Amino acid sequence: MYGKELGIIGTGKIGSALLGRLISTNTIDRSKIIAYDKDENKRNKLSQEYKIEYAESNEGLARVSKYILVAVIPQVIDTVLKEIEPIITNEQVIISIAAGVSFNHINKFINPAVGLIRIMTNTPALVGAAATVIAHNENIKDHQLEFVKGIFNAVGMVVELEERHLDAVTGLSGSGPAYIFIIIEALADGGVKMGLPRATALKLAAQTLLGSAKLLLETNIHPAALKDMVTTPGGTTITAIHELESAKIRATLIRAVEAATLKSKSLNSAKINNNQ
């Protein structure tokens, strides 16, 4: 019935990153993908780059797509949902990456019998290293869930959680790359202060973050134990850690995750209030 396996509405950073990875990894044949973006120049550029079909409208995409990925910002998702609502059937699945937009809100526009999946991913999807969390409503079948997991496995790691956790995921891993970039920049600044060339300091700082994360993920050793592996009695590391603890780095990062989580919750609350 549907000529395309996946339709992507919105080809910004995440949408285009996903599109590129799906094609480069042969996760989905390019002939089975269709996309739409309101920016005509972007449509033309990506159509030529990836050799995929572009729809003329959101409605046109919805008519031919089995799975519909709505990769737009929260501020415009209502407009998209209103446009595709008359076309969507129970045989289709809607996948949303809009932060803070709940299933309950989506169901103000889409029939509650339709399968819905919410995704919280992050910008390392651009290099195939995303942290992605999937939540779904009760209408999603096992094979549909596995299909969507396969899509996002193409851009990194995938974890399945209940929807109630997604605001916290937004605060931690959704916004998290920004926290890490600040840490990398600050470490590099420290290297520059102590005489290292800027480019070298940035590379060393970034590789240190990358290597440390890889070590934790591959060994599954608690970060406190890994920290102790580096920290020798009376050495340089424990002296530096004392400075970090004095500056309350732990409390600051905890508060950052908390603040972003609460902001995500408020985005959904604002949408609910605006549509009452």
Q: In terms of DSSP bridges, do strands 33-36 and 4-9 run parallel, antiparallel, or are they unpaired?
A: parallel
Kindly report the CATH number assigned to the domain that includes residue 240: 1.10.3730.10
Give the C-alpha separation, 107 to 125, whole Å.
Answer: 28
Q: State residue 275's pLDDT score.
A: 54
Say whether both 104 and 57 belong to one domain.
yes
CB 179 within 8 A of CB 253: yes
Q: 154 with 17, same domain?
A: yes
- Does 97 share its domain with 149? yes
CB 241 within 8 A of CB 74: no
Looking at the structure, tell me whether residues 79 and 162 fall in a common domain: yes
| Number of domains the chain contains | 2
Q: pLDDT tens, position by position, for the chain (276 residues)?
A: 789 999 999 988 889 889 989 998 899 999 999 999 988 888 888 888 888 999 999 999 999 999 999 999 888 999 999 999 999 999 999 999 998 899 999 999 999 999 999 999 999 998 999 999 999 999 999 999 999 999 999 999 999 999 999 999 999 999 999 999 999 999 999 999 999 999 999 999 999 999 999 999 999 999 999 999 999 999 999 999 999 999 999 999 999 999 999 998 887 666 555 554
Q: Which long-range contacts (CB under 8 A, 24 or more apart) does 108-116 make?
A: 108/275, 109/78, 109/81, 109/82, 109/85, 110/81, 110/85, 111/85, 113/139, 114/88, 114/89, 114/90, 114/139, 115/90, 115/139, 115/140, 115/141, 115/144, 116/140
pLDDT at residue 276 in the model: 46
100: left (phi over 0), alpha (psi -120 to 50) or beta: left
- Based on the fold, state whether residues 61 and 115 are members of the same structural domain: yes
**Domain-embedded: residue 272:** no
Residues 80, 132, single domain; the answer is yes
pTM: 0.89
Same domain, yes or no, for 164 and 193? no
Domain harbouring 24, CATH code: 3.40.50.720
In one-letter notation, the amino acid at residue 43 is R
Residue 275 placed within a domain: no
Indicate whether 85 and 142 sit together in one domain.
Answer: yes
Same domain assignment for residues 58 and 100: yes
The H-or-E segment that residue 95 falls in is strand 93-96
Assess whether 44 and 181 both reside in one domain: no
Q: Tell me, yes or no, whether 119 and 215 share the same domain.
A: no
Is 273 a member of any domain?
Answer: no
| Residue 268 falls inside a structural domain | no
* CA pair distance 155, 142, nearest whole angstrom: 21
Please report the pLDDT score of residue 274 as a whole number.
58
Tell me how far apart the alpha carbons of residues 171 and 211 are, in angstroms, rounded to a whole number. 23
The three state secondary structure string of 240-259 is HHHHHHHCCHHHHHHHHHHH
- One-letter identity of residue 64: V
> CB under 8 Å to 252, separation ≥6 — which residues?
none
CA distances to 21, 80, 135, 231 from 153, rounded to whole Å, are 10, 26, 15, 35
146 burial class (0-12, 13-18, 19+ CB within 10 angstroms)? exposed
Q: Which of 129, 152, 169 is the last residue of a domain?
A: 169
Selection from 92, 88, 99, 22 nearest residue 59 by Cα? 88
d(CA 177, CA 243): 23
Q: Is 10 left (phi over 0), alpha (psi -120 to 50) or beta?
A: left
- What is the domain range of residue 97? 4-169
The answer to whether position 189 is within a domain reads: yes
Residue matched to tokens 């605006």: 274
For residue 93, the cross-strand partners are: 67, 115
